[in-house]
Homo-oligomer: A and B are copies of this chain.
């Protein structure tokens, strides 16, 4: 079982009110030095079987068709190397 991550972000030229709201709140909250914030979506897909070129191509197509609105969003597809999760 492998994990494939699809990140979907608004294109740079598209206004991002969510990200802007976060960015404008930061100085008030005591965090300086962050000049821009963009907010997007992250999909984690658990894939059965090997993630070969064929499987990645299908997931790419899936992301393009269903997960992202390619008129206003860009996306990336990648096989995830396991990252350290901060237990909270």
| Chain A residues at the B interface, C-beta cutoff of 8 Å | 1, 7, 9, 19, 22, 25-26, 29, 31, 33-49, 55, 58, 60, 62, 64-68, 70, 73-78, 83-88
Contacts and interface: CB of A to CB of B under 8 A. Distances in A.
Given A74-B86, A84-B76, A46 B37 contact: yes
A25 B43 CA distance: 14
Nearest to A62: B31
Contact of A26 (B19, B62, B84, B85): B62
A42 to B, nearest CB: 4
Nearest to A48: B33
Given A39-B41, A45-B36, A47-B33, A22 B76 contact: no
A6 to B, nearest CB: 9
